[in-house]
Structure 1
Amino acid sequence: MPRLSDTMEDGVVVSWLKQVGDSVARGDILAEIETDKALMELEAYDDGVLEQILAEAGSRVPIGETIALIGDGSGQKHAGTRDAKPAGTTEAKPTGTAEAKPTGATETKAAGAKEAAVSAGSSAAVADSAASATDAVAADSASSDSASASNRAGGRRPKSSPLARRIAAELGVDIATVAGTGPGGRITKQDVESASRAAESVLTRPETVAAQPTTAAQPVVTPAGDYDEIPLTRIQEVSAKRLAESKQQAPHIYLTSAIDVTDLLAFRVQINATLEAAGKGKVSVNDLLVKAVASTLRTDPSCNVTFAGDKLLRHKGIHLGIAVATPAGLLVPVIRDADRKSVSEIAAESRDKAERSRDRKLRADEMGGGTFTISNLGMFGIEHFTAVINPPESAILAVGAAQDELRLDGDTVTARKILRVTLSADHRAIDGAVAAKFLQQFKDLLEHPLRIIA
């Protein structure tokens, strides 16, 4: 399992596009992998034949764990390749096998067969020591249990995926007693989980004298009537983790400003009329806000920073994240070097990336490296809200809907369009006065819209 994004810790095998026995060439798409950010394609790093799939569709696999083997098609198997161990385990490698390298697959020849572990990424072979030790214990425990059961039965160990063995160890299931439903009788993750549920149902029957404790405590749900259990998507899981960390680690401060955007909205009408006459796409209010934020950060980069312990990292590039709601969860595509782009260029790029976000077609590099994020809920009629900082950034701007309000202009009462925005800032990196200065400059641009494109 390669690292396909900068924040990825594991990946879910969504589907295999090649089957066991298929010939593959370097660059062929083997599978679709769901990361914490997008649906990515896994490429083959060698020519050969796909001889084994070790992680079935639906499996969640840590970075560095072997998910498939590519060989020369001879059909000869080396000892140990039937049940390849995950990267980071302590089991000795048998002669003739090859462990995946960070730069791609590795070929070795033994007994006329070539085996390559499908892996990639600069850190695919590097694992956290604590996590590696845990995986090693779990994998070795499952292997030992299976081997013991097989020896008792006088037969060979059952075929199972590394993921199935690890889950069996975690749930306390003897994998030798599990009936496999996968190809060739292979034991899958679902088989292990089904066996665990069956064992629990036996333990909780009325005639059972004493139920055995389970290895993992289940969360206590307060009775509140019937409910539906809705699993989180991969994006929602990662978002929940990262945003919780943000609130726990970054002391948020919030500053709200009411901005008169009456002239800005009239200016947008003029711009769109010009663009329409030229056969170009229109710009949205959000596109103008993106440009205004970029221009403000270019003038004063004090909010374009990251807190790094004993120092601040002031970013030279202005890369703005745009929060996009998708059926799978919140994604944040990034407009890179937004200060160097025109409003129409920002509009075209924003439309494209928003559409591809909803279709899960964004590349990982299009969602990483942001330095400041904008979240706009104005289209839902929300007047005002506060947003959680998107780490490792230090600020996020929450934008509401423009509202009609009466304002005094001398002795005259006039109707104006008022937009409220709230800046959430990491107080470790941005003082209140610094954040206030940013909002003041941003407000001045919006209330004098010609300056945005100057």
Structure 2
Amino acid sequence: MSKTIQMPALSPTMEEGTLAKWLVKEGDTVSSGDLLAEIETDKATMEFEAVDEGVIAKILVSEGSEGVKVGTVIAIIAEEGEDVAAAAAGGGAAPAPKADPVPEKAEAASKADAVPAKTAAAPAASSGDRVKASPLARRLAEAKGIDLASVTGTGTNGRIVKADIEGAKPGAAAPAAAPAASPAATAPAAAVPAPVAAAAQDFGIPHEVVKLSGMRKTIARRLTESKQQVPHIYLTVDIQLDKLLKLRGELNAGLESRKVKLSVNDLLIKALGVALEQVPECNVQFAGDQMLQFKRADISVAVSIPGGLITPIVTDAAGKGVASISTAMKDLATRAKDGKLKPEEYQGGTASLSNMGMFGIKQFEAVINPPQAMIMAIGAGEKRPYIVDDSVQIATVMSATGSFDHRAIDGADGARLMQAFKQLIENPIGLLA
């Protein structure tokens, strides 16, 4: 009997994903453990393995399809000895999910994207279907006088895109927009607010509509929730780096034979982990009517990747040696940029560290990454006048700002953490103990 392959939940919070690439084709024989497809979530691209053995009878969701809900049947697999054609026919009735359903609703809700009325020459449209086209393609078609009904779409599921309009010949002007939209078409849109798009058009500003990736949607949602729901308190300290930089140079000289090169960030990760152990009141999580008090400091480190940000986790940062932290961080950062992190490598963590010093940023206030209760924002180390041994000298100084969830962490406890962090960096030999 044939079996279905469903869109997997590759993380506890995953609700939908993009079927980025099929690694098999119809007619291929697969065994348990064989790679079937690459699934793109909001944070990473992961490989999906086969559980059953058999022959791929039919692929129901084409690669590149977005917004595929978890549990959606994406393929049919025929068992050994089963008629493949029969299995494929049996699964043919299962409708493949439409790619990118949210933008379609958004387009229907926008006046600028109203669906052109169709005449008897377009039977598909008169039966309730609509022309699928991106907002940019619609505007280009209107400007060039091209009837969308006469254009063949080359995008996902036949969607008309910019390239199709540019390659089409101008014809009769598109018919006037339908006077009323169907109830389904008036669903609330989740795209860019209409006033923003309208303002760009009203002023004649050249622009292009850029579709939000799953990662960017998640970042927007989570950061909005954080600022709306988490009462932030910010505490800043200036920290002298000269001793830390000297120690780093000495350690790197000793680690050269092991091909390990410590960064300042590696030492800061260690310092934050130790500081959280020294001030456990800050290594917590607010959970409604209770508090989670963590016994280990797992540090989420912000890493910039194409299209967004991800926070791979250095587990037990206080217990690891600085060389181990450096090796782990290099591996995590490389795989993060390749989209190859496992969910458990970027989900969780008890606190975060974000370093923008490499961009010359002197100081900033980072947004807390829920459900965590604090994040440390690191600015650039720079030469400044600084009091050393009761005299003004030139020292290498950086500013560090802690953002704390005031529901879980009192200002005094946050100040103690900042003090412990500062002392560890200014007296870095303690990091090696």
TM-score category (smaller protein):
0.7 to 0.9
Structure 2: how far apart are the matches of 1:393 and 1:168? Answer: 32
**1:56 and 1:188 in contact (8 A); partners too:** no
| Corresponding position: 1:333 with 2:315 | no
Alpha-carbon spacing, 1:242–1:80, altered in 2? closer, same or farther (3 Å):
farther
**How far did 1:164 drift?**
6.3
Q: Which one of the candidate residues 401, 421, 427 is aligned to 1:442?
A: 421
**2:278 and 2:420 in contact (8 A); partners too:** no
Q: Which one of the candidate residues 227, 234, 243 is aligned to 1:263?
A: 243
Structure 1: how far apart are the matches of 2:100 and 2:247? Answer: 63
**How far did 1:383 drift?**
0.6
Partner of 1:10: 16
Alpha-carbon spacing, 1:399–1:169, altered in 2? closer, same or farther (3 Å):
closer
**How far did 1:233 drift?**
2.5
**2:76 and 2:88 in contact (8 A); partners too:** no
Structure 2: how far apart are the matches of 1:168 and 1:441? Answer: 49
> Which amino acid counterpart does residue 59 of structure 2 have in structure 1?
I
Alpha-carbon spacing, 1:168–1:339, altered in 2? closer, same or farther (3 Å):
closer
Alpha-carbon spacing, 1:337–1:430, altered in 2? closer, same or farther (3 Å):
same
Identity among equivalent pairs (%):
41
| Corresponding position: 1:213 with 2:181 | yes
- Judge which range, 34-43 or 54-63, deviates more: 54-63
Q: Which one of the candidate residues 156, 165, 168 is aligned to 1:190?
A: 156
| Corresponding position: 1:415 with 2:394 | yes
Partner of 2:324: 345
**How far did 1:162 drift?**
3.2
| Corresponding position: 1:76 with 2:73 | no
| Corresponding position: 1:243 with 2:178 | no
Q: Which one of the candidate residues 46, 63, 68 is aligned to 2:70?
A: 63
The equivalences for 1:133-152 within 5 A come to none
| Corresponding position: 1:233 with 2:239 | no
Structure 2: how far apart are the matches of 1:165 and 1:405? Answer: 52
The number of equivalent residue pairs is 366
Structure 1 unmatched runs, 5+ = 85-159, 181-186, 199-203
**How far did 1:192 drift?**
6.1
**1:382 and 1:400 in contact (8 A); partners too:** yes
Q: Which one of the candidate residues 385, 394, 408 is aligned to 2:373?
A: 394
**How far did 1:304 drift?**
1.4
> Which amino acid counterpart does residue 251 of structure 2 have in structure 1?
I
**How far did 1:353 drift?**
0.8
Tell me the TM-score normalised to structure 2 length.
0.77
- Judge which range, 161-170 or 324-333, deviates more: 161-170
**How far did 1:213 drift?**
2.8
Once the two structures are superposed, what CA deviation does each residue of 1:333-354 show, in whole Å capped at 9, x if it has no partner? 1011111110010011111111
> Which amino acid counterpart does residue 249 of structure 2 have in structure 1?
V
Structure 2: how far apart are the matches of 1:165 and 1:175? Answer: 22
The equivalences for 1:136-175 within 5 A come to 161-163=96-98
Alpha-carbon spacing, 1:366–1:191, altered in 2? closer, same or farther (3 Å):
closer
Helix, strand or coil at the partner of 2:47: strand
Q: Which runs of 4+ in 1 moved over 2 A?
A: 77-81, 162-180, 187-195, 204-214, 216-220, 228-234, 407-413
| Corresponding position: 1:302 with 2:281 | yes
> Which amino acid counterpart does residue 72 of structure 2 have in structure 1?
E
Structure 2 unmatched runs, 5+ = 1-6, 109-114, 116-124, 133-152, 166-171
Structure 1: how far apart are the matches of 2:176 and 2:424? Answer: 73
**How far did 1:263 drift?**
1.2
- Judge which range, 65-74 or 324-333, deviates more: 65-74
| Corresponding position: 1:26 with 2:32 | yes
